[in-house]
Homo-oligomer: A and B are copies of this chain.
């Protein structure tokens, strides 16, 4: 680890703490504040100075995840070109945040009736809009609702992130596997319509 450039006046790198916490909580969602602090290389006291409690930490992670999703959506230009290409760009852009997303996705399941961050609603809408655009342009089938396609994308991102972190699939194949499955499915289908017995 790099102890270089420790300045007394320099506050602990908040972003570094958040990303370390994200990496840890992705693997062990019940990790202790103490474990999070150790993973980030700071003391529990300092961690608690920056994030009032575990809730605050999770909410900060949620904000980070939302920001990264928004950034990925912006970078993917979901309104340009073929919808399938936009989906491909989106998955590629969102890949670095997939592990964090997987954590937040499952974490949100236990918020039951509580109000969920409005940021997610906006992201859901943007992604669903992309699928809807693909349906209206005739690229995507219309019997799968945009809401379900959005949900399925989250699920595949989570599955992919876990599969990669446990070595069941290669990290390099992440985007390809998700995009190909989401768009093309498992069936082998001819590019050109052709007749076969």
Q: Chain A interface secondary structure, helix, strand, loop or mixed?
A: helix
Contacts A140-B186, A140-B187 given; indicate if A110 touches B30 (C-beta within 8 A): yes
- One complex includes copies of this chain to the number of 2
Q: Does A34 contact B (CB under 8 A)?
A: no
Residues 156-197 of chain A: 1 if any B CB is under 8 Å from the residue's CB, otherwise 0?
101110110000110001001100111111111111110000
A110 touches which of B28, B151, B169, B190 (Cβ 8 Å): B28
Interface residues on A, range: 35 or more
A interface with B by C-beta (< 8 Å) = 27-30, 84, 87, 106, 109-110, 112, 131, 134, 138-145, 147-149, 151-152, 154-156, 158-160, 162-163, 168-169, 173, 176-177, 180-193
